[in-house]
Structure 1
Amino acid sequence: MLLNKSVYQLASLLTFVVGAQAQEAAAPSNSDVVKLTSENFESFIKEHPLVLTEFFAPWCGHCKNLAPHYVEAASILKDKDITLAQIDCTEEQDLCMGQGIGGYPSLKIFKDHDLDNALEYDGGRTTESIVAYMIKQSLPAVQEVESKEKFEELIKEAEQPVVVFNGDASLNETFSKAANKLFNEFSFVSYPESKSVLAVYLPNEDEPIVFKGEQKSLEDDVDALEAWVKVEGLPYFGEVNGETFASYVESGLPLAYFFYNNDEEKEEYLAFFTKLGKEYRGKLNFAGLDAGKFGKHAENLNMKEQFPLFAVHNMSSNLKYGLSQLADEEFEKLTEPTKLNTKDITKLVDDILAGKAEAIVKSEEIPDTQESAVIKIVGKNHDDIINDSKKDVLVKYYAPWCGHCRRLAPIYEELANVIASDDKASKSVVIGDIDATENDVPGVPLEGYPTVFLYPAGKNAEPVLFDQPRTLESLLAFIQKHGGSKLNTEKILEKYEAEKKAADEEKGDGENEHDEL
């Protein structure tokens, strides 16, 4: 799925907060982190079956943030025959270049003494994440468990969701493929005594989530099995942070945020949100967000920073919903945090899923007058304009700070002038733009700025992305080719240029006559 700007903004915020506390990048000499150099690197890898190696620089801020977690994880993993090592790339430049290190920290996994096929570490950077990830690396993708005692022990001690299937031969290949793809996020277990063909056991939950669909729908469809696991493997009520956010995005479901002020407040609503998570499983994900760290994200959801807060973001359509909030003056007068009405939350969720809820759309005001031939579009009138079935509507989605947008602006302005110069074109084509940082455009996939879409007359629901050189001629040819108005833009441009040339010559003659006088 395409990620919209709100998703990117939260991802950036999560990354920033996770990296807020700086430490020394190099592990202390008395830690269990092994220091490797060009002299002992190869021999060490050949002597140890599983090594996670950090390539770092002492000045690197992210390396400093990682350091305490890395040291603690090394101590925990030492007894499991899993080694954590460090290489200082400011001292071992040739070694780091040989390993293709392009940034810091770079984490690589060396398995089975193989120096030539290191794996990129792509797990989280907390102690718990490192430990869980590396323990998984020491295990086969699918664990085979025969006895009930070992199975129950595995489920009891699991720190990640456990995906279990009963060993049915018809599902075995698909299950193995899914396990290899999702190996680092979930534990996959083959247990012949399982009562169901497929189930997910969540940590700290007594009952498994059982697959209730047709088994044949999964037998040859790895993507379907993977999609099911990604949804059912999430907690009923989880926590959004730098380690978990991607999982919520990948599930493809709307995400309901509960912004809380402190752990006590979160605990107060825990049972309620867990119940909702179970009730709306597969339709909506519920998660907490620490307002003290990530409160700024409320603005991305078109909400005020008034906590506690409940809001829902459909990341696929970029539609945002939330409970009504107090006026700023009223909120400032409060002496203690407000309480969320659980009935209001349930009603909002029901209305969203029924398509009855009204989304909160961020928008500038609709301008009273247009200042140029380029029509200024805002969130409030965006859909009305692009859905005009009698017109071709070309829209530039831009950000004020974007350099490429600024370079396109004069070309786009001239394009609008060319269209405005022709009577037929001016009535059948709209050239507009919208500041996407100040206006929501639900359903429009914006991967960068500027993005230009043409909504053809009569086929407005099938926009065409402009992906050609950003020239006047290319834009006009694009409108002629994909528009429903069937304009001859070449002739329109010729006429425009001829009239412009004549006007310039007339102006020049007038200036010469004035000089003579």
Structure 2
Amino acid sequence: MLFNSKLAYFAAIASLALAQEQSAIAPEDSHVVKLSQDSFEEFLKENELFLAEFFAPWCGHCKTLAPHYVEAAKTLHEEYEIPIAQIDCTENQELCMEQGIRGYPTLKVFKKNGELVSDYQGQRSKDAIVQFMVKQSLPAVSEFTDLESFNEFLTKQKDNVIISQYFAGEDSKQLNETFYNVAENLRDEYVFVNYLGDDEVKSHNISVLTPSQDPIAFDSEVSEDASLKESSEALSDFIAVESKPYFGEIDGSTYELYMNADIPLAYFFYQSEDEREQYLPLFNKLGKEYRGKLNFAGLDASKYGKHAENLNLQEQFPLFAIHELESNLKFGPEQIPAEEFTEETVVELKESAIEEFVEKYLNKELTPITKSEEIPEVQESNVIKVVGKTHDEIRFDENKDVLIKYYAPWCGHCKKMAPLYETLADIYALDDEAKEKITIGKIDGTLNDVFGIEITGYPTLALYPAGDLSKEPIIYQGKRTLESFLDFIKENGAHGIDGAQILADNTPVEEEEVEEEIEEEVPEQDEL
């Protein structure tokens, strides 16, 4: 999936433009502590927890980070007494080398006076840094016996997703163990609290508290004979679903949470905050109704509108689409021409169309949108041109062994291999039996969607044996020589056609000359 890199790319372009006007060095009057080779060890001994930025003054990304870092330092100092530091690697090269710094900026979290050191992988914004460091300052589970303190803590965590447990005593020993086990694994994503008081507030054991929704209780009973792993998986799955808002927002800070979910994602591209608010009641209703079946989230078209192309849709907003992340299937409804209606009527019509579309999708009544070149009327060579619309039909031909080359026009290794691949197809075309039992094809991976195979680089060669529709494609990993290709098809194809014998019987090409030009000891690919 390309959305991950595209989101980062668009965000980077916007931020780098501003970075040129900023300084990477925090102002002297800020709460960012400047550390050097001489002061670092002493600071480490004095602080149980702190965040350090390793930077270079000329670094554009460091300049972009600077104002967010300064604001985070102020909040963390004044409200939580958590220090933030900065190390200039152009002046402290030895220290940066000791810390394994390979790029700028690198943010590292130091805990237990340096016994635990980890890279900060979150968003480089003030709120994200503050939330992350506050979580690091807490135990995996914060425990309270006083209701007032408990409620005060919840209020302070209003922007976080909270997983709360209300007193799990001896009668809930297994659930209690499960809760603490899950908390250790998910502490960086959520805030876990346990209220141990005797008040009547405890109407259930575990619940998910989100900033915009009512608490949702974990009602699933963990059987007495369930293992800790089984019960932890059940609670983790529950949290993964219920921690998301009915209608969320996809940006850099939430992207991974949605991409790693095991359920399809329904996107709504909006053009303004007012437009988002117009549709909010509809998506909240749908998000609640189809909880656990679809995640609904908004996407700011002014920033991420180009992602519509990845969904095989035109950039005509507002836009709604559903993406099955695992299979990469994409679904989009008809767009209603706005000029024919008043604004209120358009919204009403589109809401009706969206509801109908979601219902049809869940009833499996929709056909996915497949990016595809047009089906060629005439094949120009013995290498069959495969397109998105014909990919499954050709590869699942019950009567033929099908070898398909997945390539990109810009791929140097693909261009180098092309003459040899044409020769391979020409050999099988010389024999009547081989023509009936073998297909040699190619497909441009940049212009056509393909399913059932993961393409990690170009060229990728995959063999689909005749009559075996249940197996995964057999990926070719040998040398790129004519002899190796012929052996691969003979040994792995269902028909066992001996291409080398066909070549020997007909000798239509100068095999040795071709091989000498093309042979590579180790197959290489151009990465996506």
Same fold, TM exceeding 0.5? yes
What's the counterpart of residue 123 of structure 2? 124
**In terms of mean alpha carbon deviation, does 217-226 or 379-388 score higher?**
217-226
The answer to whether the 8 A contact 1:142-1:189 is kept is: yes
1:188 pairs with 2:192: yes
In 1: Cα distance, 2:223 partner to 2:131 partner = 30
What's the counterpart of residue 31 of structure 1? 30
What's the counterpart of residue 278 of structure 2? 268
What's the counterpart of residue 481 of structure 1? 491
The answer to whether the 8 A contact 2:453-2:473 is kept is: no
Root-mean-square deviation over aligned CA pairs: 2.7
1:152 pairs with 2:151: yes
SS of the aligned residue for 1:21 comes to helix
Shift of 1:286: 0.6
In 1: Cα distance, 2:242 partner to 2:503 partner = 57
1:354 pairs with 2:363: yes
The answer to whether the 8 A contact 1:50-1:81 is kept is: no
The answer to whether the 8 A contact 2:175-2:222 is kept is: no
SS of the aligned residue for 1:226 comes to helix
Higher relative contact order (CA 8 A, sep 6+): 1
The answer to whether the 8 A contact 1:404-1:450 is kept is: yes
Superposed CA deviations along residues 381-411 of structure 1, whole A, max 9, x for unmatched, are: 1111112111122222222223333333333
Equivalent position amino acid for 2:44 in 1: I
1:55 pairs with 2:36: no
Shift of 1:419: 2.7
**In terms of mean alpha carbon deviation, does 7-16 or 439-448 score higher?**
7-16
Equivalent position amino acid for 2:46 in 1: E
Superposed CA deviations along residues 121-176 of structure 1, whole A, max 9, x for unmatched, are: 11211111000000011111122233444443333332221123453322344433
Equivalent position amino acid for 1:146 in 2: T
1:503–1:402 CA distance, 2 compared to 1 (3 A): closer
What's the counterpart of residue 209 of structure 2? 201
In 2: Cα distance, 1:373 partner to 1:132 partner = 60
In 1: Cα distance, 2:326 partner to 2:474 partner = 18
Equivalent position amino acid for 1:33 in 2: V
The answer to whether the 8 A contact 1:303-1:322 is kept is: yes
In 1: Cα distance, 2:153 partner to 2:133 partner = 17
The answer to whether the 8 A contact 1:171-1:218 is kept is: no
1:169 pairs with 2:191: no
Equivalent position amino acid for 2:18 in 1: Q
In 2: Cα distance, 1:83 partner to 1:483 partner = 64
In 1: Cα distance, 2:484 partner to 2:236 partner = 42
What's the counterpart of residue 429 of structure 1? 438
Shift of 1:333: 10
The answer to whether the 8 A contact 1:33-1:84 is kept is: yes
**In terms of mean alpha carbon deviation, does 307-316 or 422-431 score higher?**
422-431
**In terms of mean alpha carbon deviation, does 442-451 or 265-274 score higher?**
442-451
Superposed CA deviations along residues 77-100 of structure 1, whole A, max 9, x for unmatched, are: 013221111111122111111111
1:138 pairs with 2:146: no
SS of the aligned residue for 2:192 comes to strand
**In terms of mean alpha carbon deviation, does 56-65 or 121-130 score higher?**
56-65
The answer to whether the 8 A contact 1:62-1:105 is kept is: yes
In 2: Cα distance, 1:332 partner to 1:314 partner = 31
TM-score by length of 2: 0.86
Q: Pairwise mapping of residues 45-124 of structure 1 onto structure 2 (< 5 A)?
A: 45-79=44-78, 80-114=80-114, 117-124=116-123
Query: Among residues 231, 247, 258, which one is paired with 2:257 in the alignment?
Result: 247
SS of the aligned residue for 2:260 comes to helix
The answer to whether the 8 A contact 2:476-2:488 is kept is: no
Query: Among residues 395, 398, 411, which one is paired with 1:389 in the alignment?
Result: 398
1:237 pairs with 2:234: no
Superposed CA deviations along residues 453-500 of structure 1, whole A, max 9, x for unmatched, are: 22221112322242513413333333233322222344345446x443
The answer to whether the 8 A contact 2:49-2:113 is kept is: yes
In 2: Cα distance, 1:299 partner to 1:287 partner = 18
In 2: Cα distance, 1:495 partner to 1:243 partner = 63
What's the counterpart of residue 312 of structure 2? 302
The answer to whether the 8 A contact 1:218-1:224 is kept is: no
Equivalent position amino acid for 1:235 in 2: P
Shift of 1:53: 0.6
The answer to whether the 8 A contact 1:123-1:184 is kept is: no
Superposed CA deviations along residues 232-251 of structure 1, whole A, max 9, x for unmatched, are: 21111111111111110111
1:62–1:213 CA distance, 2 compared to 1 (3 A): farther
SS of the aligned residue for 1:500 comes to coil
The answer to whether the 8 A contact 1:17-1:293 is kept is: no
Identity %: 48
Unaligned runs of 5+ in 2: 514-528
Query: Among residues 392, 408, 411, which one is paired with 1:399 in the alignment?
Result: 408
Query: Among residues 279, 284, 291, which one is paired with 2:294 in the alignment?
Result: 284
Unaligned runs of 5+ in 1: 505-517
SS of the aligned residue for 1:208 comes to strand
Shift of 1:258: 1.0
SS of the aligned residue for 2:193 comes to strand
In 1: Cα distance, 2:17 partner to 2:509 partner = 58
The answer to whether the 8 A contact 1:374-1:431 is kept is: yes
In 2: Cα distance, 1:314 partner to 1:278 partner = 19
**In terms of mean alpha carbon deviation, does 69-78 or 296-305 score higher?**
296-305
Equivalent position amino acid for 2:174 in 1: S
The answer to whether the 8 A contact 1:451-1:466 is kept is: yes
Equivalent position amino acid for 1:371 in 2: E
